[in-house]
C-alpha cells in the first residue's frame, strides 16, 4: 500500500520557523474544515473508523504520534514526528491514531465539513464496504 507524505516548505529565519499551507497548492483539495486534538491521554487509540468521501491531511504540529492505515487489504504504520510533514489520508481508509507524545498536537485539514453520516465506525462494515467497491 502506498502512502503519501508531504514535506512542506518551512520558512526559517533567525526568529524560528513558519509553515504556510494553501488549498490546492500544499493541500491537494479545498479546505472546508480544520480541527486538532491535544492533551491526548497516554496509550489511547483514536480514530478507529473510515470515511466514505472525506480526504484529509494530518500534521503533527507539535510532538509525535503514529497513524495506522488499513485499506481493507493492507495495513501500514506511518510516524508523524515533524511539524512540516503531512500525511494524506483518503476516503475508504480505516485509520487509527496512537502513541501520542505528551505534547502532541495533531492538526487535520479536511475536504468536507463534519458529517457523522460519512463515518464507518464498524470494522466489519468497513471491510464489506471496500470489498463491494472493488
Which residues sit at the interface with ligand T46, rule CB under 6 A?
A: 33, 35, 37, 46-47, 56, 95, 97, 108, 114
Ramachandran angles phi, psi of 80, nearest 5°? -110, 110
CB distance 87 to 3 below 8 Å? yes
Stretch (H or E) spanning 123: helix 123-133
Q: How far is the CB of 61 from ligand T46 (least distance, A)?
A: 14
Q: Is 91 a catalytic residue?
A: no
Q: How far is the CB of 109 from ligand T46 (least distance, A)?
A: 11
Alpha-carbon distance of 62 to 7, in angstroms, equals 15
From 11, 49, 51, 91, the catalytic residue: 49
Kindly tell me which of 16 and 113 has the beta carbon lying closer to ligand T46: 113
Instruction: Just list the catalytic residues.
Output: 49
Amino acid at each position: 500500500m502506498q502512502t503519501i507524505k508531504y514535506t512542506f516548505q518551512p520558512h526559517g529565519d533567525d526568529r524560528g520557523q513558519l509553515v504556510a499551507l494553501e488549498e490546492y497548492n500544499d493541500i491537494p483539495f479545498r479546505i472546508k474544515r480544520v480541527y486538532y486534538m491535544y492533551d491526548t491521554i497516554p496509550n489511547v487509540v483514536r480514530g478507529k473508523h473510515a470515511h466514505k468521501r472525506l480526504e484529509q491531511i494530518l500534521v503533527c504540529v507539535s510532538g509525535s504520534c503514529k497513524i495506522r492505515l488499513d485499506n481493507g487489504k493492507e495495513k501500514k504504520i506511518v510516524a508523524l514526528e515533524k511539524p512540516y510533514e503531512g500525511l494524506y489520508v483518503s476516503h475508504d481508509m480505516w485509520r487509527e491514531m496512537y502513541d501520542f507524545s505528551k505534547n502532541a498536537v495533531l492538526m487535520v485539514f479536511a475536504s468536507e465539513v463534519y458529517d457523522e453520516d460519512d463515518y464507518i465506525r464498524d470494522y466489519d462494515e468497513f471491510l464489506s464496504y471496500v470489498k463491494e467497491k472493488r
